[in-house]
C-alpha cells in the first residue's frame, strides 16, 4: 500500500510521466468527442432522411407508391378518395426513388379499424399508375407465415389480448396495431405464448401425386388425426376460410372435374413396330372421313392427346376433338398440325356407354322384382306348411319304427324254439335209417325171388323209406325257416337303429328358428312388393337415356374451363396444412396421414403457426444505431492510430534507444529467439500496446462505439494490436537524434528535461507539443 501511494505521488509530481498521463486523458477526451460527433452527425443525417421519407414515428398510416410520370393523377385520385372515405385525413408527397413516387396518408383515429385496413386494397385499387398500398401505422407488430385458413382464428384471439387495438389481414401476414408503444413487449410475449400452443403439420405432395380435391383430402386428414391421435383440435388450414361459399364452390368444381374425367372415353394406343409416343403427343384417327397422310388436321378428325405411358410401352390418352364412338382404330401422329405416318392401333373404353348399358340392364332386372317376390312368397308358404307337418311326420316315423321293433320281437319268439332243435343230427339219423332200409330192401328183393311171400314186406319198407326222405326234406325246410327268421330279425334291428338315429337328427332341427326366418323373409318380400317399381324403372330408363349425355370433346373443353377457374383460386394442391393444438410429432402423425391418403409418397413437416416479425421502422432504426456505433468505432480506431503515431512514437523511440544502448547483440539461434521475445516484451512494445488498448477501449465506451459480432473483450485486444504495430515502426515515424540526447546528458539534464526540451520539440506535431 505504501509503495502504491509512493508511485502515485511520483506520478502526480511535475514529471514527464504526468505529461504522458495528461496526454492520454486529453487524447481520450478529444478522440471520444470526435468519434461521437461523427457518429451522431451521421445518425442525425440518416434519421432526418428517414423522417423526410416516411415521416416521424406514428405520423403516417398509409403509403402509396405510383409511377413517377403519373404522380399528378395519382395525387388527385388519392385526395378524392380520402375526402370521401377518410374525411380529415391528410396526404403528403414523398420522394421519388427508382421511378416510384411515394404518397403518405395520415388517417384520423376514428377510421383506424380492422375493416378499413383490410379494405385498403379495394379502396385504393382504382388509382392509376399501378399503385401499391402499404401500412405504416405505429406501434404495430406483424405475424408472418400464418396459413390462410388459420388467419381468422389468430386475428380473433390476438384481438382480445390486453394492449391490442385490433388485428387485421395484411397481405400474407397478420398485422397487429397496439394502443401504445409501452404495450409492445407485453403483447409480443402474449403472442409468442399463444403461437407455442399450436402446431402446423404440413403434408407435401411430389409433382404428379397431387390430390384431385385437396380441400376434401385436407378435411379427411384433419378428421383422421383428431380421431386417431385423440386430439382436441385439428383443422385443415390450407385454404382461406374467409369465404366459405367460394371454398365450397371450388370443391364442387373439383368433384365435377373428377366426374367428367372419369366418364371421358379412355383410349389406349399400342405403338406399331419401333414407334414411340411421349406425353403430350397428338394422334389423329379417322372419323366420318378417311385420313390423308400429309393433309392438315380437319374438324372431322378425332384427336387424342397422350396423357401417360404404361410400362409395356402402350400410351394412354384422352380425346380432345371429335367423338370416340366414331373413331377408327388406326392412329396417325400429328406433326405441326399435319397428319403424319401411322403410329399404332387404339382401343376405346367408353364409361358413359357402359353406364347406360348397366342402367338399362338394371331396369330390366327391376321390372322382374314383383314376379320374383311373388314366387318367393309362394315358396315361403310351402316351406311354412312343411314345417307345420314336420312334427306329425316325425311321430309317424317313430310309430313305424316301434311296430317294426315289435314284429322283430315276435319273430324272435317264434323262431327261438326252432333254434334249439338239432335238425342236422335228425337228418343224419334219417339218412342212416334210409340207407339201412335200402340194404334191407335189397336183401328182401333177393328173398322175394326165392319166396314170393316177402313182396308185401318189400313194399312196406319202400314206403317207409320214402316217408323218411320226406321227413328229412321237411327238417331241411324247417332249418331254412329258422335261418330266414334270424336274418329278418337282424334286418329289422338295423332298420330300427338307423331310423332312431334319423329321428334324433330330425328332432335336433330348429323348427321354430326356421319358421321365424321364413316369417321375416316373407315380411321383407311383402315390403319389396310395396315398392313403386314402375317409378324406379322409369327413372332408371331416364338415367340410361340421359346420363351422362356428353361428347368427348365437350368433356375435354369443360375440364379445361374448370382448370382455369380453379387455377385462379388460392387452392394449394401440392401442400396441405393441418393446424393442431397439441405437441404432435411427425413420427406419430405419419401412419395416420399415410392411411388417410392411401399411400406414403409424401413428405411431412412440423412448423410453428407463425413468426413475429419486428417493426420495420424499429428494425431500420436498429440498423441506423448499428451504423452509428460502427462509425464511432472506426473513428476511434483512426484517432487511436493518429495519436499513437503523432504523440507516442517519439516516446517509444526514446524507450527503445535506452534499451539497446551499450547492449551486445546475440547471434545465432539465441539472437533469433531474443528478437522474437522482444517483439512482444520490449518496453516500447508494452508501452504501445498499453496506450493503444487504453485509448481505443475508453473511446469505444465514451462514444458508444461497437462492431457487430465483435465481443467487447476484443476491443482492448484490437487497441493493443494497433499499439504493437505502431511500436514496430516508431523509429521510422518519429526518428530521434542520438547526438542531441547525448549533448543534453553531457549538460547534466534529467530525462524529464531532455524529453521536454530536446525530444518533444523536434518530434512530430501533436498534442504533446
Task: Quote the mean pLDDT of the chain.
Answer: 74
Strand-pairing partners, residue 346, are 269
pLDDT of residue 756: 63
Closest CA to 248 of 277, 292, 270, 216: 216
**Structural contact between residues 237 and 148, judged by C-beta atoms closer than 8 angstroms:** yes
- Ranges assigned E (strand) in 53-99: 62-67, 90-97
CA dist., res. 106 & res. 131, Å (int) = 17
**If you average pLDDT over residues 718-738, what whole number do you get?**
79
Residue matched to cell numbers 372421313: 289
pLDDT surpasses 60 at 6: no
CA dist., res. 353 & res. 596, Å (int) = 32
pLDDT surpasses 80 at 177: yes
**If you average pLDDT over residues 503-523, what whole number do you get?**
66
pLDDT surpasses 80 at 670: no
pLDDT of residue 452: 46
**Structural contact between residues 152 and 76, judged by C-beta atoms closer than 8 angstroms:** no
- Banded pLDDT at 158 (limits 50, 70, 90): very high
Residue matched to cell numbers 310395396: 530
pLDDT of residue 449: 46
Share of the chain above pLDDT 90, in %: 2
Strand-pairing partners, residue 102, are 65
Residue matched to cell numbers 482492448: 716
This prediction has a pTM of 0.49
Neighbours of 170 (CB within 10 A): 20
- Candidate ranges 9-18, 190-199, 332-341, 382-391; pick with highest mean pLDDT: 190-199
Residues in the chain: 769
pLDDT of residue 167: 93
What DSSP element (H or E) covers 271?
A: strand 266-271
- Banded pLDDT at 537 (limits 50, 70, 90): low
**Structural contact between residues 267 and 319, judged by C-beta atoms closer than 8 angstroms:** yes
- Judging by beta carbons within 10 Å of its beta carbon (0-12, 13-18, 19+), is residue 246 exposed, middle or buried? middle
pLDDT surpasses 90 at 170: no
pLDDT surpasses 80 at 346: yes
Per-state percent for the chain, helix, strand, coil, to nearest 5: 65, 15, 25
Ramachandran region, residue 294 (left: φ > 0; alpha: ψ -120 to 50; beta: rest): left
**If you average pLDDT over residues 423-446, what whole number do you get?**
56
Sequence-ordered list of residues with C-beta below 8 angstroms from that of 250, at least 6 positions apart, any chain? 215, 565, 566, 569, 571
pLDDT of residue 264: 78
**If you average pLDDT over residues 177-199, what whole number do you get?**
87
CA dist., res. 365 & res. 231, Å (int) = 48
Over residues 437-451, the pLDDT tens digits come to 555 555 545 444 444
Peptide bond into 452 cis (omega under 30): no
Largest CA distance in the chain: 221
**How far is the first Cα of the chain from the last one, in angstroms, to the nearest whole number?**
35
- Banded pLDDT at 396 (limits 50, 70, 90): low
CA dist., res. 687 & res. 23, Å (int) = 14
Would you call 50 helix, strand, or coil by DSSP?
helix
Helices within 547-682 (DSSP H only): 552-567, 586-597, 616-643, 649-660, 668-681
- Banded pLDDT at 422 (limits 50, 70, 90): low
Closest CA to 606 of 198, 164, 77: 198
φ/ψ of residue 343, rounded to 5: -115, -25
pLDDT of residue 340: 85
Over residues 679-698, the pLDDT tens digits come to 667 788 888 888 888 888 88
Over residues 64-84, the pLDDT tens digits come to 888 888 888 888 888 888 888
CA dist., res. 332 & res. 344, Å (int) = 7
Sequence-ordered list of residues with C-beta below 8 angstroms from that of 601, at least 6 positions apart, any chain? 205, 206, 209
CA dist., res. 649 & res. 273, Å (int) = 93
pLDDT of residue 625: 76
- Banded pLDDT at 743 (limits 50, 70, 90): low
∠ CA 686-691-694, nearest 5°, is: 125
User: In terms of pLDDT, which residue wins out, 525 or 421?
Assistant: 525
Over residues 7-38, the pLDDT tens digits come to 555 545 556 677 778 778 888 888 888 888 88
CA dist., res. 173 & res. 145, Å (int) = 7
**If you average pLDDT over residues 739-761, what whole number do you get?**
65
pLDDT surpasses 60 at 703: yes
pLDDT surpasses 80 at 435: no
Over residues 468-481, the pLDDT tens digits come to 566 556 556 556 66
pLDDT of residue 547: 57
- Banded pLDDT at 164 (limits 50, 70, 90): very high
pLDDT surpasses 90 at 246: no
- All three cell numbers of 448: 322175394
> How crowded is the C-beta side of 4, counted as CA atoms within 13 Å?
1
- Banded pLDDT at 754 (limits 50, 70, 90): low
pLDDT of residue 220: 86
pLDDT of residue 448: 47
Lowest-confidence segment of 118-122, 192-196, 285-289 by average pLDDT: 285-289
Would you call 580 helix, strand, or coil by DSSP?
strand
CA dist., res. 696 & res. 32, Å (int) = 9
Over residues 134-148, the pLDDT tens digits come to 888 888 888 988 888
CA dihedral 756, 762, 763, 766 (to 10 degrees): 70
User: In terms of pLDDT, which residue wins out, 555 or 150?
Assistant: 150
pLDDT of residue 705: 81
Over residues 39-63, the pLDDT tens digits come to 888 777 776 766 666 656 677 888 8
Amino acid at each position: 500500500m505504501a509503495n502504491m501511494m509512493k508511485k502515485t505521488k511520483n506520478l502526480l509530481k511535475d514529471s514527464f510521466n504526468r505529461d504522458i498521463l495528461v496526454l492520454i486523458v486529453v487524447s481520450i477526451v478529444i478522440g471520444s468527442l470526435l468519434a461521437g460527433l461523427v457518429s451522431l452527425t451521421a445518425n442525425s443525417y440518416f434519421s432526418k432522411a428517414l423522417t423526410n421519407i416516411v415521416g416521424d414515428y406514428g405520423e403516417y398510416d398509409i403509403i402509396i407508391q405510383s409511377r413517377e410520370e403519373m404522380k399528378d393523377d395519382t395525387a388527385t385520385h388519392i385526395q378524392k378518395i380520402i375526402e370521401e372515405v377518410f374525411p380529415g385525413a391528410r396526404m403528403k408527397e414523398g420522394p421519388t426513388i427508382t421511378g416510384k413516387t411515394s404518397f403518405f396518408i395520415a388517417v384520423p383515429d376514428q377510421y383506424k379499424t380492422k375493416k378499413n385496413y383490410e379494405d385498403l386494397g379495394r379502396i385504393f385499387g382504382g388509382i392509376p399508375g399501378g399503385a401499391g398500398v402499404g401500412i405504416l401505422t405505429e406501434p404495430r407488430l406483424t405475424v408472418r407465415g400464418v396459413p390462410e385458413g388459420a388467419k381468422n382464428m389468430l386475428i380473433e384471439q390476438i384481438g382480445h389480448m390486453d394492449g391490442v387495438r385490433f388485428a387485421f389481414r395484411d397481405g400474407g401476414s397478420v398485422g397487429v396495431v397496439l394502443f401504445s408503444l409501452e404495450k409492445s413487449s407485453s403483447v409480443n410475449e402474449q403472442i409468442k405464448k399463444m403461437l407455442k400452443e399450436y402446431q402446423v403439420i404440413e403434408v407435401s405432395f411430389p409433382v404428379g401425386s397431387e390430390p384431385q380435391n385437396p380441400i376434401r383430402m385436407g378435411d379427411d386428414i384433419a378428421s383422421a388425426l383428431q380421431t386417431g391421435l385423440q386430439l382436441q383440435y385439428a383443422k385443415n388450414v390450407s385454404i382461406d376460410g374467409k369465404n366459405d361459399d367460394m371454398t365450397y364452390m371450388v370443391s364442387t368444381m373439383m368433384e365435377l372435374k373428377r366426374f367428367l374425367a372419369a366418364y371421358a372415353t379412355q383410349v389406349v394406343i399400342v405403338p406399331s413396330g419401333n414407334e414411340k409416343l411421349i406425353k403430350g403427343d397428338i394422334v389423329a384417327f379417322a372419323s366420318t372421313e378417311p385420313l390423308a397422310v400429309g393433309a392438315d388436321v380437319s374438324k372431322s378428325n378425332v384427336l387424342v392427346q397422350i396423357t401417360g405411358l404404361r410400362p409395356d410401352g402402350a400410351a394412354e390418352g384422352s380425346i380432345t376433338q371429335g367423338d370416340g364412338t366414331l373413331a377408327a382404330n388406326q392412329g396417325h401422329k400429328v406433326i405441326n398440325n399435319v397428319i403424319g405416318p401411322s403410329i399404332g392401333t387404339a382401343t376405346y373404353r367408353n364409361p358413359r356407354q357402359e353406364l347406360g348399358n348397366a342402367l338399362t340392364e338394371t331396369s330390366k332386372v327391376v321390372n322382374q322384382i314383383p314376379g320374383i317376390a311373388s314366387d318367393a312368397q309362394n315358396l315361403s308358404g310351402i316351406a311354412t306348411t312343411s314345417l307345420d307337418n314336420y312334427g306329425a311326420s316325425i311321430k309317424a316315423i317313430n310309430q313305424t319304427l316301434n311296430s317294426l321293433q315289435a314284429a322283430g320281437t315276435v319273430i324272435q319268439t317264434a323262431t327261438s324254439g326252432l333254434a334249439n332243435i338239432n335238425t342236422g343230427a335228425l337228418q343224419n339219423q334219417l339218412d342212416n335209417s334210409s340207407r339201412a332200409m335200402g340194404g334191407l330192401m335189397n336183401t328182401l328183393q333177393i328173398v322175394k325171388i326165392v319166396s314170393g311171400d316177402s313182396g308185401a314186406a318189400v313194399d312196406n319198407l319202400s314206403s317207409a323209406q320214402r316217408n323218411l326222405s320226406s321227413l328229412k326234406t321237411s327238417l331241411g325246410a324247417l332249418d331254412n325257416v329258422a335261418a330266414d327268421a334270424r336274418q329278418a330279425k337282424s334286418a329289422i334291428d338295423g332298420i330300427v337303429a338307423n331310423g332312431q338315429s334319423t329321428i334324433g337328427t330330425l328332432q335336433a332341427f330348429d323348427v321354430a328358428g326356421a319358421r321365424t326366418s321364413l316369417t321375416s323373409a316373407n315380411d321383407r318380400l311383402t315390403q319389396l312388393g310395396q315398392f313403386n317399381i314402375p317409378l324406379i324403372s322409369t327413372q332408371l330408363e331416364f338415367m340410361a337415356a340421359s346420363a351422362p349425355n356428353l361428347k368427348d370433346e365437350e368433356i375435354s373443353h369443360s375440364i379445361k374451363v374448370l382448370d382455369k377457374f380453379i387455377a385462379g383460386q388460392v387452392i394449394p394442391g401440392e401442400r396441405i396444412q393441418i393446424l393442431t393444438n397439441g405437441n404432435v410429432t411427425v413420427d406419430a402423425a405419419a401412419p395416420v396421414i399415410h392411411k388417410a391418403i392411401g399411400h406414403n409418397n409424401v413428405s411431412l413437416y412440423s412448423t410453428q403457426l407463425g413468426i413475429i416479425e419486428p417493426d420495420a421502422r424499429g428494425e431500420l432504426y436498429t440498423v441506423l444505431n448499428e451504423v452509428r456505433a460502427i462509425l464511432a468505432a472506426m473513428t476511434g480506431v483512426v484517432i487511436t492510430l493518429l495519436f499513437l503515431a503523432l504523440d507516442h512514437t517519439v516516446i517509444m523511440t526514446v524507450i527503445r534507444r535506452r534499451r539497446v544502448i551499450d547492449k551486445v547483440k546475440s547471434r545465432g539461434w539465441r539472437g533469433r529467439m531474443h528478437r522474437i521475445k522482444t517483439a512482444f516484451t520490449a518496453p516500447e512494445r508494452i508501452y504501445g500496446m498499453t496506450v493503444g488498448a487504453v485509448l481505443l477501449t475508453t473511446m469505444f465506451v465514451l462514444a458508444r462505439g461497437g462492431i457487430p459480432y465483435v465481443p467487447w473483450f476484443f476491443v482492448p485486444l484490437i487497441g493493443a494490436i494497433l499499439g504493437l504495430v505502431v511500436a514496430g515502426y516508431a523509429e521510422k515515424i518519429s526518428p530521434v537524434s542520438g547526438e542531441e540526447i547525448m549533448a543534453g546528458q553531457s549538460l547534466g539534464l534529467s530525462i524529464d528535461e531532455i524529453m521536454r526540451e530536446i525530444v518533444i520539440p523536434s518530434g512530430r506535431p501533436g498534442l504533446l507539443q
